[in-house]
Structure 1
Amino acid sequence: MAEQQTILVPRISSFPGHEARARAIVRWLVQQGIVDERLSTCGGLGNRMAHAIGPGARRVVERPQLLPFDRPANGLEIVSKRCIYTPTRDFLEEAGCPECRQEIGEALFDSLEEWMPGRTDNFICPECGHEDDVNGFLFLQPCAFSNLGFVFNGWGAAGFRQSFLDEFAERLGHPVAQVHVDL
Structure 2
Amino acid sequence: MNTQSIIVPQISSFPARQAKARAILRWLVKLDVVEEALSTCGRSYNKMAYAIAPGARRFVDNPDALPYGRPVNGLEIVLKRCIYTPQQDFVEEAGCPQCRREIGEALFDSLEDWMPGHTDNFICPECRHEDDINGFLFLDACGFSNLGFIFNDWLEAGFKQSFVDEFAERLDRPVSFVKVRL
Number of the residue aligned with 1:18: 17
Query: In structure 2, what is the Cα distance between the partners aligned to 1:140 and 1:92?
Result: 7
CA root-mean-square deviation: 0.6
- Superposed CA offset, 1:139-182 (max 9, x none): 00010100000000000000000100000000001111011112
Number of the residue aligned with 1:89: 88
Query: In structure 2, what is the Cα distance between the partners aligned to 1:126 and 1:108?
Result: 9
Listed as ranges, the matches of 1:1-150 within 5 Å are 2-150=1-149
Query: In structure 2, what is the Cα distance between the partners aligned to 1:163 and 1:181?
Result: 20
Question: What TM-score do the two structures reach when normalised by structure 1?
Answer: 0.98
Q: Which runs of 5+ in 1 are unaligned?
A: none
User: In the TM superposition, what is the alpha-carbon distance from 1:3 to its structure 2 partner?
Assistant: 0.8
SS in 2 for 1:151: strand
Number of the residue aligned with 1:171: 170
Query: In structure 1, what is the Cα distance between the partners aligned to 2:88 and 2:70?
Result: 22
- Superposed CA offset, 1:18-51 (max 9, x none): 0110000000000010000000000011111100
User: In the TM superposition, what is the alpha-carbon distance from 1:115 to its structure 2 partner?
Assistant: 0.3
Query: In structure 2, what is the Cα distance between the partners aligned to 1:172 and 1:82?
Result: 17
Query: In structure 2, what is the Cα distance between the partners aligned to 1:166 and 1:182?
Result: 23
SS in 2 for 1:128: coil
Question: What TM-score do the two structures reach when normalised by structure 2?
Answer: 0.99
Q: Which runs of 5+ in 2 are unaligned?
A: none
**Identical residues among aligned pairs (%):** 69
Count residues with an aligned counterpart.
182
Say whether residues 1:160 and 2:170 are aligned partners: no
Which segments of structure 1 move beyond 3 Å, counting only runs of 4 or more?
Answer: none
- Superposed CA offset, 1:54-91 (max 9, x none): 01100100000100002110000000000000011111
